[in-house]
Amino acid sequence: MDDLSPPPTPTPVCYRHADRATRLACSECGKPICAECSHDSAVGQRCRECAQPHGRHKVVDARRTTGALAGLTNAPVNQAILAITIAVFVAGLLNLEARDWLFQNLSSWNFGIANGDWWRLVSSALLHDYGFIFHIGFNMYFLYLLGPALERQVGSAPFAALYLATAATGGLAAYYLGEPRTVSIGASGAIFGIVAVWVYAAYRSGHRGARMLANQQMLWLIGIGIVFPFFASGLNISWQGHFGGLLGGLAIGWAWGRAAPQSTNPKLTRTIIAVAALGAAIAVSLFIDPSWM
C-alpha cells in the first residue's frame, strides 16, 4: 500500500546561507536567518536588510545601545520624561505650596480615583518621595539606562505610549490591591514595564544565553521590586505598583511580538497596542469598583 502521508516539512535554511538550517526568523519580514545574519532588536531579531538605515532614521543594533555609552541620543521621549520629572521634583523642593498642590492633584490617591480622577493613574509617575532621595534617583537612573535603547528600537511614539500605559497598569494594581486611603507616587510602574519588555524580548530572541539572562533578570526583578517591600515596610514601597507595571509591560511586549512583525507599519501597530492598554486601564478604573468600596 502506498504511503499517502504528507512528506515531512523541511527545516528552513538561512536566506543568505543555503547550507545553514535555522529556526530563527526576521521579526520584521519573516525571512529565515542564521545566527550570523541576526541583528538583535527589542522585539526579536532582524535580517541584514531590515536592520539597515531607512531614510533619515538609523536602526541601532541592541548590542551597541545599552549602557551609558548610548546616552540619550535619538531618544526625545526619554529626554522629555527625564526633564519634566526632575523639573517637577525641583519645583516641589523649592516651593512647599507647589509641592502640596502637586501631591493633592497628581498623586495616585485611591479615594480620588474612585471619584473619577482617572488621570491620577498616570500623573503620579511625575511625583517622588522628598524624604527618600533615592526614590527619584533609582527610577530616573533605570530610565536612563534602559529607556533610550528601547525607544530607538521600537520608535518614540510606541515608547511614549508604553510608558504611560505601564504607569497606568501600575497605578491600577495599587488601586485594586491597596487600601482606601492609599496614596501612591513614583515612576516605578512604568520602569518595571520597560524592564518587562526587555526581558520578554530577550526570552523571545531564541538564543539560549538571552533566555538564561532573561530568567535571571526576572528573578532579580521579582525579588527586588515585589518581595523586598515586604521586608522593608518602613520604606513604604508599593509592590502593587511594581507588580502592575510588570504585568502591563509583559502583556504589551507579548502583543508587540505577535502583531508588529506581521504589520506593514510596525511602529503604528505598537503605538495602537500600547494606547489600547492605556485606555483599558483607565476604563477599568472608571467602571469596576475595588473590593474596598
Picking from 3-12, 85-94, 208-217, which range would have the lowest pLDDT averaged per residue?
Answer: 208-217
* 69 lies in some domain: no
Residues 6+ apart with CB under 8 A from 246: 192, 193, 195, 196, 221, 225, 226
Question: 24 and 126: one domain?
Answer: no
* 1 lies in some domain: no
Q: Are 197 and 62 in contact (CB under 8 A)?
A: no
Q: Where are the beta strands (DSSP E) in 50-184?
A: 108-109, 183-184
Question: 29 and 109: one domain?
Answer: no
Q: Choose from 58-72, 92-106, 179-193, 211-225 the range with maximum mean pLDDT.
A: 92-106
Question: 223 and 261: one domain?
Answer: yes
The pLDDT value recorded for residue 88 is 97
pLDDT digits (tens, 9 = 90+) for 190-213: 999 998 998 888 777 655 555 555
Question: 53 and 97: one domain?
Answer: no
- How far, in Å, CA of 272 to CA of 263, rounded? 12
The domain containing residue 264 runs over which residues?
77-287
Residues 6+ apart with CB under 8 A from 209: none
* 97 lies in some domain: yes
* 6 lies in some domain: no
Question: 40 and 179: one domain?
Answer: no
* 67 lies in some domain: no
How many domains does the structure of the chain reveal?
2
Domain of 269, CATH number, reads 1.20.1540.10
Question: 101 and 27: one domain?
Answer: no
Question: 272 and 146: one domain?
Answer: yes
Mean pLDDT of 110-126: 96
How far apart, in Å, are the Cα atoms of 256 and each of 30, 103, 110, 206, 284?
15, 34, 31, 16, 22
The pLDDT value recorded for residue 117 is 96
* 162 lies in some domain: yes
Question: 19 and 131: one domain?
Answer: no
* 65 lies in some domain: no
Mean pLDDT of 92-100: 96
Grid cell digits, residue 158: 510606541
Question: 85 and 227: one domain?
Answer: yes
The pLDDT value recorded for residue 234 is 45
* 293 lies in some domain: no
Question: 172 and 260: one domain?
Answer: yes
Q: Quickly state the pLDDT bin for 218 (edges 50, 70, 90).
A: low
Question: 166 and 29: one domain?
Answer: no
Q: Are 126 and 84 in contact (CB under 8 A)?
A: yes
The pLDDT value recorded for residue 56 is 46
pLDDT digits (tens, 9 = 90+) for 154-197: 999 999 999 999 999 999 999 999 888 889 999 999 999 998 99
pLDDT digits (tens, 9 = 90+) for 269-285: 999 999 999 999 999 99
Question: 16 and 157: one domain?
Answer: no
